[in-house]
């Protein structure tokens, strides 16, 4: 028995030693970089749920790099706000020079951002927004106008139905939403609800697909069992659309724009991953509202400006357009402005 106890103590000590030395490695690495004079940037990415997210992470890693004069400490929050809060606290302990945060949801950031402010570390928000009491808790934000993306997509849908002579009474939509509480979900859901009210479309249901292919498929399977009149699937990102198409085709139904003859139209957001763009070229995703993930160069420019003691713009919206292989709608009008649709070939 005593031998077992001794062995257990030895094992626990060894495990603790390994844990401590891996933590130390991170600190030593930062120390070396600081010694070389490179400013250190801690980036809390919210997760790796979609093709868009992978492209966004790559853009950040390529730009906030040693070749460009920065050391990047990357942390994947795995879609959990708590993990992101812990990462920010660790960055503060490590005394990084800048913190970049891609927040999973909008609410609940005041306390930790106040801690960063007290430590004198500028915070740059990317992609989704934070809803905080004091705008001075972050220095700058770079991202998308998610509601405008939805307004563009629904304007395209309205133009398509009008040109094709499809009456509003025939439109039955289901919405596979993103993560509830994320800016991308809030803006895209709001845009669809407003369009349904404005154009008189029937919104059958809304359920979160968590921005993933697996959950998108699961939600679509459930919708198909519950409703027999769905003819539009509005997916709040491309990965959900890929999953929804799998579910529709497995149920023996067809995707496409011919909704008066039984096809189900799928529309979505992003336009980043190969699979989704291929599905759009085949006409299986009828229209994609672009969500631009290339934040790296913009964040680098903000940090470069801060390094020079300059004041960067507080809010920076990335440019975005619509993609479709269907030729029915080549342009559409929104708030009196004419937008062109980029044709996929
Ligand atoms: O916040 C941007 C959204 O998050 C993208 O549309 C989606 O693919 C990602 O998961």
pLDDT surpassing 90 at residue 22? no
Overall average pLDDT of the 206-225 stretch: 98
Confidence at residue 249, expressed as pLDDT on a 0 to 100 scale: 98
- Contact between 256 and 175 (Cβ < 8 Å): no
Of the candidate ranges 5-9, 267-271, 322-326, the one whose mean pLDDT is the lowest = 5-9
Q: Are 150 and 190 in contact (CB under 8 A)?
A: yes
Nearest to 314 by CA among 110, 139, 144: 139
**195 with 269, same domain?**
yes
Question: In testing the pocket of ligand 1, which one of 46, 47, 51, 53 has its CB within 8 Å of the most ligand atoms?
Answer: 53
- Enumerate residues lining ligand 1, CB below 6 A: 49-50, 52-53, 127-128, 184, 211, 237, 269-270, 291
Q: How confident is the model at residue 8 (pLDDT cuts 50, 70, 90)?
A: very low
Those residues whose C-beta lies under 8 Å from the C-beta of residue 201, and which sit 6 or more positions away, are 168, 171, 172, 173, 195, 232
Q: Report how far Cα 106 is from the mean position of its chain's Cα atoms.
A: 12
Mean pLDDT, the chain, whole residue set? 92
Beta strands 265-270; 202-208: pairing state:
unpaired
Q: Is residue 174 a part of any domain in this protein? A: yes
pLDDT at residue 63, as a whole number? 98
- pLDDT exceeds cutoff 80 at 140: yes
pLDDT of residue 17: 37
- Provide the pLDDT for residue 10: 43
Both 103 and 190 in one domain: the answer is no
Q: What angle do CA 92, 97, 98 make, to 5 degrees?
A: 85
Residue 159 sits in the same domain as residue 103: no
Whether residues 138 and 223 fall in one domain? no
Report pLDDT for 12.
46
Name beta bridge partners: 341: 322
Query: Whose structure tokens read 């420019």?
Result: 301
Strand, helix or coil at 117?
helix
Total number of residues shown for the chain? 345
**Residue 37 confidence (pLDDT):** 87
Distance 237 CA to ligand 1 centre (A): 6
Is residue 260 one of the residues assigned to a domain?
A: yes
Q: Are 43 and 73 in contact (CB under 8 A)?
A: yes
pLDDT in tens, 157-208: 999 999 999 999 999 999 999 999 999 999 999 999 999 999 999 999 999 9
Q: How far apart are CA 136 and CA 116, in angstroms?
A: 11
pLDDT at residue 5 is higher than 70: no
Residue 248: what pLDDT? 98
Q: Are residues 249 and 338 in the same domain?
A: yes
Query: Which mutation among 184, 186, 240 tests ligand 1's pocket best, with the greatest number of atoms within 8 A of CB?
Result: 184
User: What DSSP assignment string belongs to 13-58?
Assistant: HHHHHHHHHHHHHHHHHHHHHHHTTPPEEEEEE----SHHHHHHHH
CA angle 331, 337, 343 (to 5 degrees): 25
Q: What residues contact 310, with CB distance under 8 A and at least 6 apart?
A: none
Instruction: Give the chain's domain count.
Output: 2
Give me the half-sphere count of Cα atoms (radius 13 Å) on the Cβ side of residue 76.
Answer: 10
From the CA of 293, give the closest atom in ligand 1: 2
Residue 2 lies in a domain: no
Residue 32 pLDDT grade (very low, low, confident, very high; cuts 50, 70, 90): low
Q: Could you read off the pLDDT of 327-337 as tens digits, one per residue?
A: 999 999 999 99
| Residue 337 domain boundaries | 146-291+321-343
Q: Please state, in angstroms and as integers, the Cα–Cα distance from residue 231 to each residue in 15, 59, 192, 324, following that order.
A: 56, 36, 15, 18
Q: Are residues 334 and 223 in the same domain?
A: yes
pLDDT score of 243 more than 70 = yes
- How far is the centre of ligand 1, averaged over its atoms, from the C-alpha of 184 (Å)? 6
Residue 31: pLDDT over 70: no
**In CATH, what number is assigned to the domain containing residue 247?**
3.40.50.2300
Supply the pLDDT for residue 11: 46
pLDDT for position 20:
37
Q: Is residue 103 part of a domain?
A: yes
Quote the pLDDT of residue 250.
Answer: 98
Q: What is the pLDDT of residues 70-105, one digit of tens each?
A: 999 999 999 999 999 999 999 999 999 999 999 999
**pLDDT of amino acid 306:** 98
pLDDT of residue 284: 98
Task: Calculate the alpha carbon distances from 137 to 73, 109, 132, 244, 331 in Å.
Answer: 21, 9, 8, 39, 40
Q: Whose CA is nearest to atom 2 of ligand 1?
A: 184
- Token pair 């903000």: residue: 302
For 203, the 3-state DSSP assignment is strand
């Amino acid at each position: 028995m005593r031998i077992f106890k001794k062995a257990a103590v030895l094992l626990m000590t060894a495990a603790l030693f390994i844990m401590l030395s891996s933590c130390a490695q991170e600190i030593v690495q930062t120390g070396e970089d600081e010694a070389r004079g490179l400013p250190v940037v801690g980036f809390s990415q919210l997760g790796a749920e979609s093709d868009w997210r992978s492209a966004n992470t790559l853009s950040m890693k390529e730009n906030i790099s040693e070749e460009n004069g920065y050391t990047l400490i990357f942390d994947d929050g795995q879609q959990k706000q708590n993990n992101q809060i812990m990462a920010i606290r660790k960055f503060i302990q490590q005394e990084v020079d800048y913190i970049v945060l891609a927040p999973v949801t909008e609410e609940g950031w005041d306390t930790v951002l106040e801690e960063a402010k007290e430590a004198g570390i500028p915070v740059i928000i990317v992609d989704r927004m934070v809803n905080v009491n004091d705008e001075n808790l972050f220095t700058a934000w770079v991202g998308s106008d998610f509601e405008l993306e939805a307004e563009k997509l629904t304007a395209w849908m309205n133009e398509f139905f009008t040109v094709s002579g499809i009456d509003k009474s025939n439109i039955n939509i289901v919405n596979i939403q993103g993560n509830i509480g994320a800016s991308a979900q809030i803006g895209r859901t709001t845009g669809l609800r407003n369009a349904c009210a404005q154009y008189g479309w029937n919104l059958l249901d809304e359920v979160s697909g968590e921005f993933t292919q697996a959950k998108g498929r699961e939600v679509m399977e459930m919708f198909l069992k519950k409703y027999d009149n769905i003819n539009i699937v509005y997916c709040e990102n491309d990965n959900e659309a890929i999953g929804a198409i799998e579910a529709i085709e497995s149920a023996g139904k067809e995707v496409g724009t011919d909704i008066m003859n039984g096809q189900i139209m799928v529309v979505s957001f992003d336009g980043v991953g190969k699979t989704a763009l291929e599905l759009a070229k085949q006409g299986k995703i009828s229209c994609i509202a672009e969500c631009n993930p290339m934040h790296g160069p913009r964040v680098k420019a903000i940090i470069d400006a801060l390094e020079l003691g300059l004041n960067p713009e507080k809010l920076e919206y990335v440019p975005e357009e619509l993609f479709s292989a269907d030729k029915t709608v080549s342009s559409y009008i929104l708030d009196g402005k004419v937008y062109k649709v980029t044709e996929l070939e």
